[in-house]
A and B are shown apart, each in its own frame.
Chain A
Amino acid sequence: GENVEQHPSTLSVQEGDSAVIKCTYSDSASNYFPWYKQELGKRPQLIIDIRSNVGEKKDQRIAVTLNKTAKHFSLHITETQPEDSAVYFCAAITVGQAGTALIFGKGTTLSVSS
């Protein structure tokens, strides 16, 4: 089955700096890679996703890159702000008996200090 590794587990940056979180996956058939943000005490919410037919996707200060050959993908946040402080999860699809399922990484706690 799919295995998703996420690094680092914690990341501290100053406001305005960039932050990069990296994930690797094991199943070469995976074709969908979302990123979720979870603020303290709240539910995870999708912030960006990428499909295997593109190498990069941007949405304002957030971008995701995908390297299918190396089986890794990364989240890039530029000009970080205190409200970016949260836990970020990467995920990759795996195929089960009944259909597809998402396997998540263990998460990265991002702290942005002003």
Chain B
Amino acid sequence: NAGVTQTPKFQVLKTGQSMTLQCAQDMNHEYMSWYRQDPGMGLRLIHYSVGAGITDQGEVPNGYNVSRSTTEDFPLRLLSAAPSQTSVYFCASSYGDSLLNEQYFGPGTRLTVT
């Protein structure tokens, strides 16, 4: 199993550009989520999904969109990048849909917006 994979590993965007961060898992996990990590701020939840077709907002959803058309994939879309979105983004997945199980994190995507 590859576990949770994220692409790209690094990305530089100009303000106003859009892009999609990819996340995939091959463990047949129902639950997937996106976090951003900034120095001194911990891991902040952006969006989460409890299964295909079901998503919800987390703590910091503004400027980001998600969709979940398959169990395996959970892409994160930046609609119009801003310097405040410079961060490391982690995708995570866990077994079941109630989050009472270990979350497996991907390797992260380091995004810089200039």
Contact = CB atoms under 8 A, between A and B. Distances in A.
A44 B90 contact: yes
Contacts of B54: 98-99
Contacts of B90: 43-44
Nearest to B97: A99
Contacts of A96: 48, 56-58
A98 B99 contact: no
A91 to B, nearest CB: 8
Which size bracket describes the interface of B in this complex? 20 to 34
Interface residues of A, number: 27
Given A97-B56, A98-B54, A99-B97, A105 B42 contact: yes
A30 to B, nearest CB: 11
A3 to B, nearest CB: 10
A43 B108 contact: yes
A62 B94 CA distance: 23
Nearest to B57: A96
A45 B98 CA distance: 19
A103 B59 contact: yes
A91 B57 CA distance: 17
Q: Which of B35, B58, B90 has the most CB of A within 10 A?
A: B58
A73 interface: no
A107 B37 CA distance: 11
